[in-house]
């Protein structure tokens, strides 16, 4: 289903979409006050559910209580620009390549992120895939500032990232624009990370993020892989992490967000040994 805006008050619910060549559902350019709810998506050739704010902002939309399984290429749920949108209560599992479970991307000519983006109460399973072009692992949720900065009020709250093949969280720019674009205004709160093959957070960009009550266990590598913009200045990484408290749980080097990592210690190791995590258990 492909919807070219401008349009508003579209409702999609209780739908099953499987075995698609490209996206299952895409809100494209100027879709407002619309939603996809209680829908099952499996085996898409591109993003399962996407909001793509090309030329016109998508505003006030919601993807809620959906299940997205095994996108073969790209992401389970992807948000490309837009204003005041929500991704809530979804289950995303088993992405395959060139993407992951949840994606926030300033790319494909999308309008800037403005207002607030809420990513709340979602669960990802066996995500954080290997990116074959970059030869590194992604995050179960990953932010990519390619065309412009990501600089909005983005709140990632009460999500569970389970059995992550590589990282749970990634913030990244591409090499040609690494000194041009930043990612900031991202707030992680009340997150549970159960199992990572590598790190909890991988930062490969300039910018900053805050973390509060992010609990992690079965972490395969250093809690934060902080490369920043790869200039490696004496003052530390170009990406800073702020600890707002309650960030508990161990990694191979102690607490995943240990004081020695803050605010911007360079720990860059993009290809550490991958430690397959055990199956998630009761928290």
pLDDT range class, residue 76, cuts 50, 70, 90: very high
Distances (CA, A) of 199 to 93, 96, 172: 19, 19, 14
**Is the same domain home to 29 and 111?**
yes
Tell me the average pLDDT of the chain.
97
**Is the same domain home to 170 and 234?**
yes
Residue that has been written with the tokens 């990116």 in this structure: 131
pLDDT at 35: 99
User: If you average pLDDT over residues 231-236, what whole number do you get?
Assistant: 98
**Is the same domain home to 95 and 145?**
no
Residue 177, classed as helix, strand or coil, is helix
* Cα distance between residue 143 and residue 202, in whole Å: 10
Predicted confidence (pLDDT) per residue in 30-40, tens digit: 999 999 999 99
Look up residue 68 and give its two tokens.
Answer: 């997205």
Residues of the domain holding 24: 1-117
**Ranges 106-110, 125-129, 179-183, 253-257: which has the least confidence:** 253-257
Contact 169, 201 (CB under 8 A): yes
pLDDT at 248: 93
**Is the same domain home to 244 and 141?**
yes
Q: Which of 95, 117, 139 is the last residue of a domain?
A: 117
pLDDT range class, residue 61, cuts 50, 70, 90: very high
**Is the same domain home to 147 and 268?**
yes
pLDDT range class, residue 252, cuts 50, 70, 90: low
Q: Is the pLDDT of residue 187 over 90?
A: yes
**Is the same domain home to 195 and 248?**
yes
Q: Is the pLDDT of residue 251 over 80?
A: no
What element of type H or E holds 142?
strand 139-145
Q: Is the pLDDT of residue 181 over 70?
A: yes
**Is the same domain home to 175 and 135?**
yes
* Cα distance between residue 263 and residue 113, in whole Å: 25
**Is the same domain home to 144 and 93?**
no
Cis amide linkage into residue 146, ω under 30° from 0: no
Q: Is the pLDDT of residue 259 over 70?
A: yes
How much of the chain exceeds pLDDT 70, in percent?
99
pLDDT at 283: 86
**Is the same domain home to 222 and 275?**
yes
Closest CA to 66 of 129, 4, 16, 131: 16
Q: Considering its fold, how many domains does the chain have in total? A: 2
For 174-229, strand residue ranges (E) read: 182-196, 201-204, 206-219, 224-226
**Is the same domain home to 95 and 144?**
no
Q: Is the pLDDT of residue 254 over 90?
A: no
pLDDT range class, residue 250, cuts 50, 70, 90: confident
Q: Is the pLDDT of residue 155 over 80?
A: yes
Q: How far is CA 131 from the centre of its chain?
A: 14
**Is the same domain home to 95 and 39?**
yes
Q: Which of 80, 95, 117 is the last residue of a domain?
A: 117
**Is the same domain home to 137 and 113?**
no
Q: Is the pLDDT of residue 242 over 90?
A: yes
């Amino acid at each position: 289903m492909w919807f070219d805006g401008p349009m508003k008050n579209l409702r999609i619910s209780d739908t099953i979409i499987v075995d698609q060549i490209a996206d299952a559902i895409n809100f494209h350019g100027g879709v407002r006050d619309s939603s996809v709810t209680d829908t099952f998506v499996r085996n898409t050739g591109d993003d399962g559910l996407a909001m793509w704010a090309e030329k016109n902002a998508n505003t006030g939309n919601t993807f809620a209580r959906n299940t997205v399984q095994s996108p073969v290429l790209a992401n389970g749920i992807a948000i490309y620009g837009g204003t005041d949108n929500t991704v809530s209560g979804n289950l995303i599992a088993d992405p395959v390549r060139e993407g992951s479970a949840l994606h926030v991307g300033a790319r494909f000519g999308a309008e800037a992120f403005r207002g607030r983006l809420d990513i709340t109460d979602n669960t990802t399973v066996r995500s954080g895939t290997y990116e074959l072009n970059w030869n590194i692992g992604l995050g179960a949720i990953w932010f990519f500032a390619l065309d412009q900065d990501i600089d909005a009020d983005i709140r990632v709250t009460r999500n569970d990232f389970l059995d992550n093949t590589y990282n749970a969280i990634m913030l990244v720019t591409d090499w040609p624009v690494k000194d041009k674009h930043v990612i900031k205004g991202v707030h992680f709160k009340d997150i549970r990370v159960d199992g990572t093959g590598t790190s909890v957070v991988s930062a490969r960009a300039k910018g900053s993020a805050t973390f509060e009550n992010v609990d992690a266990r079965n972490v395969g590598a250093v809690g934060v892989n902080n490369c920043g913009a790869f200039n490696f200045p004496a003052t530390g990484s170009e990406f800073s992490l702020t600890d707002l408290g309650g960030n508990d749980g161990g990694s191979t080097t102690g607490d995943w967000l240990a004081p020695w990592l803050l605010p911007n210690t360079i720990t860059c190791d993009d290809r550490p040994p991958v430690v397959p995590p055990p199956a998630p258990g009761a928290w």
